[in-house]
Amino acid sequence: MFAYEINSAQYEAKRHGHDFAKFEAVYTLKEGELYFAFNKETDEN
């Protein structure tokens, strides 16, 4: 059992040699939305 965002869990399972198809999400702890904001004035460094 572990608590991870589904895409991160899939990545970590694969990275550690596990078959993600053998895992099942059974409970959602929290849902949220992700946003990105960009600004042309942002310093590249």
The pLDDT tens digits for 13-37 are 999 999 999 989 899 888 889 898 8
Residue 42 has pLDDT above 90, yes or no: no
At 10, give phi and psi (nearest 5°).
-65, -45
pLDDT band at 45 (very low <50, low <70, confident <90, very high): confident
Written in H, E and C, the secondary structure of the chain is CCCCCHHHHHHHHHHCCCCHHHCCCCCCCCCCCCCCCCCCCCCCC
Instruction: Enumerate the domain spans of the chain.
Output: 1-45
